[in-house]
Amino acid sequence: MQAFDRLCKFARKPAREKLRIVSRKLSSKLPETDCYWKVFSPGNDRTAYLIGLFGTGRLYINDLMMQHTGRRAKYFRDTIRLHQRPTSMIYSGHATLKYVSRGQALPAVTRRILDAVRARTADLVFLYRHPLDSLVTNWVFWRTHLRTRIGLWVGLAYTNLDDLCVDLEKDFAEFESFARGDPAFFAAPRGPRFLTFREFVEETELYLKSATLALRLEDFISDPAKEFSKIAEVMSVNLNLSRVQIQPPLAKPFRYLALEKAVPRFKAFTDGLDAETKRRIERIGYTLL
């Protein structure tokens, strides 16, 4: 039923948006040896990498890049590949710097991207949001993915905050298991576990020290045109803000605050975070109220 609902939702979208979605899906399935670029030039700009840990709004930026980067849009790929020289390619994906994590490229891959950044043959744009919002988003995604093989973000899995609060209260032991990276959470499918919350926050801090440009999803909610213009500048894309309309993301900022009020055990969880994790959250520009 959920798959049917998603199909109906897709059918109601405008034709241009359908094309973007299909293009994104197809690009993620292209083989590593993409024959197209053996015939046509991949360009000679600095290769652009959009990196985000899970649950930070990367797909929203993907869509903006496909809509507003002009000729560079044809070079967009929703995957991560490495090049020894500058290209006009735009790669988008999940990757970690220190810890091995389910669903994210290995640290060895990220180190090679950073080598290219230091060599001035590539740029890395890192997108992040409040880690507690990402934590809730990721828990919802992985629990729906493990149960139905279709991972859903919060906005698709729940029609209102009350339903999310009910599930969080009812399955709080499962939430805590996910947050501490318990391998038992992923016992059924093979592969590594996901990041612990502590590791997630540490990875974010490491990226802020390394990225060419780091942007907060919350800032796109308040002024999407201003924030996207920063990406365009890094990529040397001529973006005329007077001629484009950039929509803000649908994600709700600081949802975790409402959850703290509605679910006491979630509030106790955030209050009980270890001191180093709390300091890291502050160093990346957020507070714990």
Determine how many CB atoms are found less than 10 A away from the CB of residue 49: 26
90 burial (CB, 10 Å; 0-12 / 13-18 / 19+) is buried
Percent of the chain with pLDDT over 90: 72
Confidence of residue 34 (pLDDT cuts 50, 70, 90): low
The closest alpha carbon to 70, from 232, 255, 253, belongs to 232
The whole-angstrom separation of Cα 168 and Cα 266 is 8
- With 60 as the cut, is the pLDDT of residue 30 above it? no
Tens digit of each residue's pLDDT (9 = 90 or more) over 44-92: 789 999 999 999 999 999 999 999 998 899 999 999 999 988 999 999 9
The closest alpha carbon to 64, from 110, 72, 134, belongs to 72
How far is CA 161 from each of CA 167, 168, 252, rounded to the nearest angstrom?
10, 10, 11
Region for residue 47 given its phi and psi (left: phi exceeds 0; alpha: psi -120 to 50; beta: otherwise): beta
- With 90 as the cut, is the pLDDT of residue 13 above it? no
Tens digit of each residue's pLDDT (9 = 90 or more) over 165-190: 999 999 999 999 999 999 889 887 77
Tens digit of each residue's pLDDT (9 = 90 or more) over 228-268: 999 999 999 988 877 888 999 999 999 999 999 999 999 99
Percent of the chain with pLDDT over 70: 86
Q: For the whole model, what pTM was predicted?
A: 0.85
The whole-angstrom separation of Cα 60 and Cα 216 is 12
